[in-house]
Amino acid sequence: MAGYHLEAIEAAPLKDDVDIVIPTIRSLDFLEQWRPFLRHYHLIIVQDGDPSINIRVPDGYDYELYNRNDINRILGPRASCISYKDGGCRCFGFMVSKKKYIYTIDDDCFVAKDPSGKEINVIAQHIKNLETPSTPHYFNTLYDPFRDGTDFVRGYPFSLREGVQTAISHGLWLNIPDYDAPTQLVKPRERNTRYVDAVMTIPKGVLYPMCGMNLAFNRELIGPAMYFGLMGEGQPISRYDDMWAGWAAKVVCDHLGFGVKTGLPYLWHSKASNPFVNLKKEHKGLHWQEDMVPFFQNLRLSKESDTATKCYMELSKMTKENLTKVDPYFENLADAMVTWIEAWEELNPPVKNEACDEELNPPVKKGSVKDVKAK
Ligand SMILES: O=c1ccn([C@@H]2O[C@H](COP(=O)(O)OP(=O)(O)O[C@H]3O[C@@H](CO)[C@H](O)[C@H]3O)[C@@H](O)[C@H]2O)c(=O)[nH]1
Ligand SMILES: [Mn+2]
């Protein structure tokens, strides 16, 4: 029994602090293979598409499952901000969670092996990434200095070695890479077999295409900025859900002084989606990204925006002012961003200290590395 308990701790670090969020329009059979690594965690399953379909959750998992009827019941009119028929519906799971960390994974992903043949424990690696600082102000050429067996290189200023608190850990994929539809169509047989044993901080001021397939984040630091947008049925765009969230969350992290890491852990993506269908869903995004990315690159949040919630409200205003000229869709998206924050605050009310009427969870000080196990 004691051995079993130790094994659980090793396989499932921080099991009471992490929720696993899975959007699905298919089946959850992929969870069978993940049992050794995921069975000790709580799952939040967001069932997309027809709510009358009963999906089976493999035995032994502790879970809550929400379909579209549940989302409508819980959020009422505010359910309009949650995408339908798009993987972006996953952000409903971020909102109902009460945990510090979220790990989100797609239903066509499997356990990958490292070059020694050992199965990769994705959550253990994400937790390591999140619980050690990031270094967004100066690049360390040996990558993440907080990994075992490495450090800051010569010439790295000591004043910057404390780093900043990490908010996002972006994991990668073996087998089918996260390509857009045109790239998939011209390279249908391309497979990623290159395992790069590296974790690195994405520098401050640099954006990146965040993929939602293998992603972990600190919900307490950045949760309100992890909105996966308004996509899918009834919208002119799909499949830019994670991109939108990634650009927004990165500018919020940069502004609030938090870090974003990318690299390990890998999982195995088997790819269930069809590139021709994807092209139809993505084509507006392929044009609009030429405006969306410069928009995020050039915006400056005000110093009054000192929490993720306030940053996101300001971002919504900027979206309306700057992107509506690209397409009227962005006006709806900006409104949905406000609705998202309203819904988030309804489900996650700020804790008040009645004695002094101040919030008990004040904004985290910019750039602080509170509660982080530094090296
Ligand atoms: O209408 C839908 C479509 C999909 N889902 C669920 O979302 C994830 C990802 O879907 P899928 O595997 O089809 O997408 P990929 O092209 O392989 O993956 C990338 O596209 C992103 C953009 O949405 C996604 O985050 C990337 O990882 C699966 O779990 C589907 O079941 C859905 O809920 N509704
Ligand atoms: Mn996929």
Distance from C-alpha of 368 to C-alpha of 207, rounded to nearest angstrom: 22
Q: Largest Cα–Cα distance in the chain?
A: 64
Atom 28 of ligand 1, residue of closest alpha carbon: 106
What whole-number percentage of the chain has pLDDT above 90? 89
Predicted ipTM beyond 0.90: yes
pLDDT score recorded for residue 1: 32
254 lines ligand 1 (CB under 6 A): no
Binning pLDDT at 50, 70 and 90, where does residue 6 land? very low
272 lines ligand 1 (CB under 6 A): yes
179 lines ligand 1 (CB under 6 A): no
Instruction: Between 12 and 51, name the one with better pLDDT.
Output: 51
Top mutation candidate among 106, 178, 226, 267 for ligand 1, by most atoms within 8 Å of CB: 106
pLDDT score recorded for residue 366: 37
Determine if the peptide bond prior to 265 is cis (ω within 30°).
Answer: yes
Binning pLDDT at 50, 70 and 90, where does residue 146 land? very high
Q: Is the pLDDT of residue 176 over 50?
A: yes
Question: Are residues 86 and 232 in contact, defined by beta-carbon separation less than 8 angstroms?
Answer: yes
Q: Which residues of 311-334 are buried (b: 16+ CB within 10 A; e: fewer)?
A: bbbbbbebbbebbeeebebbebbb
pLDDT score recorded for residue 373: 32
